[in-house]
């Protein structure tokens, strides 16, 4: 099935990804007040797999999930599991806006890796978009003003592994369906985290269950939306759209947790938004239409 390049469709799917990740950030902070991160991630993978089953069935069933790129799936999910663990851990250590802002060194890693390993082209506009986003993040975080929190370093490590993961997802979309990518993510990550989760396991309370279900849903389908967006546009276009999470998370942190929004956050958010508008307005670099082998994937 051929997917013609479309920045508009990529933006549509990234909107879904943004919404899901914002919901997951709130739910992750709430759930981690009671449960260990290993257990949260294991429950997320197992429940997410059950939620994904209707899409698996409509895509040909479990047999259709067979892959010839198992090592790429393993590498991608080892990197992503590490980053996701660090990200969830940091949610309880530093303000939400800081977690998301520092995480946004990810696009820089992703863009460099996509150019180096996937053969994507980096033109002036894409470079400017990424630079505006990074400068905006620096203004928000203001490194050097005060001490650097351990949580900030943890998120920085997460950003690097996310860059690896996103680049490998882009490579996988050339031969694998979106459903297959998510299926293997859930299977592999639930296998990686099983023993650590059992070691710290405790039965969730009634209060924790809704947060866990939200994490499972948003954690699964944020990746579905991200993978869909990558079918319609290069990683150097898709990932900078994700910069919008910084100002949106700052607003949520203020509304829900009374985390202060200062002039630096507002200025950084303005630069980030400007970069995204430039990226969406600019015509994409010509690219070969993306082909997916999954003709049964009906969620175009």
More confident residue, 235 or 211: 211
What is the distance between the alpha carbons of residues 58 and 60, in angstroms, rounded to a whole number? 6
133 close to 240: Cβ distance less than 8 angstroms:
yes
Q: Which of 66-80, 95-109, 129-143, 252-266 has the highest mean pLDDT?
A: 66-80
Whether 127 has a pLDDT exceeding 90, the answer reads: no
More confident residue, 146 or 197: 197
pLDDT tens string 250-292: 888 989 988 887 787 778 878 877 877 776 666 444 454 454 4
Whether 155 has a pLDDT exceeding 70, the answer reads: yes
Domain boundary assignment for the chain: 14-284
pLDDT tens string 179-206: 999 899 999 999 999 999 999 999 999 9
What is the distance between the alpha carbons of residues 195 and 211, in angstroms, rounded to a whole number? 22
Report the pLDDT value the prediction gives residue 109, as an integer from 0 to 100.
78
Report the pLDDT value the prediction gives residue 284, as an integer from 0 to 100.
47
Q: How many C-beta neighbours within 10 Å does residue 292 have?
A: 20
Report, as an integer, the average pLDDT of 152-158: 87
3-class secondary-structure state, position 291: strand
Tell me the three-class secondary structure of 46-94, residue by residue. HHHHHHHHHHHHHCCCHHHHCCCCHHHHHHHHHHHHHHHHHHHHHHCCC
For 95, 116, 169, the CA distances from 288, given in Å and listed in that order, are 41, 18, 17
Q: Which of 32-36, 107-111, 288-292 has the highest mean pLDDT?
A: 32-36
Report the pLDDT value the prediction gives residue 38, as an integer from 0 to 100.
96
289 close to 2: Cβ distance less than 8 angstroms:
yes
- Model-level pTM? 0.77
């Amino acid at each position: 099935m051929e997917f013609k390049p479309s920045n508009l469709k990529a933006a549509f799917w990234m909107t879904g990804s943004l919404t899901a990740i914002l919901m997951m950030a709130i739910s992750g902070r709430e759930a981690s007040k009671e449960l260990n991160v290993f257990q949260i991630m294991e429950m997320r993978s197992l429940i997410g797999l059950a939620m994904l089953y209707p899409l698996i069935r409509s895509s040909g069933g479990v047999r259709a999930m067979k892959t010839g790129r198992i090592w790429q799936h393993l590498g991608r999910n080892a990197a992503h599991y590490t980053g996701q663990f660090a990200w969830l851990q940091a949610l309880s250590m530093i303000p939400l806006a800081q977690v998301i802002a520092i995480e946004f060194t990810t696009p820089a890693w992703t863009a460099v890796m996509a150019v180096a390993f996937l053969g994507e082209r980096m033109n002036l506009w894409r470079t400017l978009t990424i630079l505006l986003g990074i400068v905006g993040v620096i203004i928000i975080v203001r490194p050097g003003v005060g001490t650097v929190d351990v949580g900030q370093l943890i998120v920085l490590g997460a950003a690097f592994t996310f860059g690896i993961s996103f680049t490998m997802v882009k490579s996988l979309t050339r031969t694998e369906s979106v459903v297959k990518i998510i299926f293997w993510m859930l299977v592999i990550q639930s296998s990686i985290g099983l023993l650590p989760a059992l070691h710290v396991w405790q039965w969730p309370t009634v209060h924790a269950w809704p947060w866990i279900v939200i994490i499972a849903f948003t954690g699964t389908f944020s990746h579905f939306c991200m993978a869909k967006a990558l079918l319609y546009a290069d990683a150097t276009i898709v990932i900078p759209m994700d910069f919008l999470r910084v100002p949106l998370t700052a607003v949520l942190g203020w509304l829900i947790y009374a985390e202060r929004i200062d002039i630096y956050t507002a200025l950084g958010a303005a630069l980030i938004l400007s970069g995204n508008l430039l990226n969406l307005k600019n015509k994409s670099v010509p690219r070969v239409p993306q082909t997916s082998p999954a003709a049964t994937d009906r969620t175009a």
